[in-house]
Every structure is written in structure tokens, then in C-alpha cells.
Amino acid sequence: MKAYTLITGASSGIGEATARRFAKEGRNLILIARREERLRKLATELKKSGSDVSVHACDITDHGALEDLFRKLQDQQIDVVVNNAGLALGTESFDRYDFKDIQTMIDTNITAFMKIAHLSLPLLKKTKGHLINLGSIAGKETYAGGTVYCATKHFVHAFTGGLRKDLLGSGVRVTTIEPGRVETEFSVVRLKGDAAKAKKVYEGYRPLLPADIADAIWYAVSRPSHVNIEEMLVMPTDQAGLNVKLSA
């Protein structure tokens, strides 16, 4: 029976790069995102390398849709889940935030993230598989304008730690990958489509590329089954904590 890697947020950024990297390593893929057209295009391309790739358009904040999807996947052998989908919205001080944006971050980065872990674990227990959770430097530090986003990523850190203990003895590995600044659509989404302002976030130093994080994810997954990388903080050389400075 073929084994599959399931990736959420697979239509762009870190999710897409992970799909590409895993296909290169000969893995079969189940790709999930809202943007079906982009997923289909990616799948067509990745299938050329010989991987079996299926795509599922799904809004992960819709719990019923997620339940339906996982019901369909029940008989698949899924041994890696990359719980990647997440977002930041806005850069305002908390008291000036639109509460809708706060709710969306919580619905996506906490509730949907946990729902995906909850639905994945019965499958991962069968395969003694690996759950990769996407954290962030924002799960270790805090900054003005990122109060709620940082809190959601601190949640990912705490959740992963507890889950490791819950799952001890199950053979399931759980890892948090914590990137610093990675040049993706992250800032365009955060800044509500202002591409010029988003570009500035990555100016004056060398940010990470999505492929750098895909590489870290592959490293964790490809360790022998008795080795669990609990967490990996992956930063640009030009970023320490929240400070960025171009190397001389």
C-alpha cells in the first residue's frame, strides 16, 4: 500500500515548497488548500516526477468540510502530516484591531490547526507516522502589532510540547518547525494585499526562501524512526530574534 504525505496550505509558500521537495524525494502527496486551480496546476507538475498526487480544495476553518475530507481519506496510509496552513492579519496595536481579523487568526492558526491534528492522529497512529506543526519565531518572542499572531504561535509551541507527552509510547513523532522571516505571500496577506508594502518587509537583508523550510521539514521527517526532532528554529543569517541586519 502506498504511503502519503498530507500537506495543508499547499497552494503557495512553505506548503507548496514542501510538496515540491517531498515529490523530489519520491513521496506521494495529498494536497489541501482553498485555491483549487493552483493546487491542480501544482499536482499536474509534480505527477511528472512519478508521485501520486491528489488535491482537495477545502477551507480548513469549515470543520464539517474537514471531517468529510478525512472520512474520504480513512483508508489511505498517511504517514506524514504537515500542518502548515496559518496566517497573520494586520499590524495594529491590539486595542485598534478589527476583531474579525483576531477571530480569523484564532479560527485558522489555533482551532483549524488543532482540528487537523485531531483528525490526523488516528491515521498517524496506524502508521507510526509524523506530525509536523508549523510554528514561528513569533512563538518564542512577541512584538508590537503581532500580539494575537504571536499568541497563536505560542499556542502551537505549547500544544506540540503537550502532544509529545500524550503520544509517548505510540511511536508517533511530533515536530514544530519554527521559521523566522520567509519571503512568501505571508506579508501580502497580512497587509491585506498591499504588495509594495509587503515587499519592504523583506528588504535590506536576505530572508529565508520557502525551500529552506521545506528542507528543514524533510530533514526532520527523514531521520530514523527512533529520532524525533522536537523543534527546529530556522532563521535567516541576517535575522536574530526580531532584529534584521544585512551581513557585511
Binding footprint of ligand 8X3 on the chain (CB under 6 A)? 136-138, 146, 181
Q: Which is nearer to ligand 8X3, 164 or 181 (CB)?
A: 181
Minimum gap (Å) between residue 181 Cβ and ligand 8X3: 5
Largest CA distance in the chain: 54
Minimum gap (Å) between residue 229 Cβ and ligand 8X3: 19
Distance spanning both ends of the chain, measured CA to CA: 52
Minimum gap (Å) between residue 136 Cβ and ligand 8X3: 3
State which residue has the least CB distance to ligand 8X3. Answer: 136
C-beta separation of 102 from 91 below 8 A: no
Sign (positive or negative) of CA dihedral 94, 97, 100, 101: negative
For the question of residue 149 being annotated catalytic, the response is yes
Catalytic residue among 149, 202, 205, 219: 149
Minimum gap (Å) between residue 9 Cβ and ligand 8X3: 13
Q: Which is nearer to ligand 8X3, 83 or 136 (CB)?
A: 136
CB 192: neighbour CB atoms within 10 A? 11
User: Residue 184: which H helix or E strand, with range?
Assistant: none
Q: Residue 241, exposed/middle/buried by CB under 10 A (0-12, 13-18, 19+)?
A: exposed
- Match 479560527 to its residue by C-alpha cell: 107
Q: Which is nearer to ligand 8X3, 28 or 175 (CB)?
A: 175
* Residues labelled as active-site residues: 149
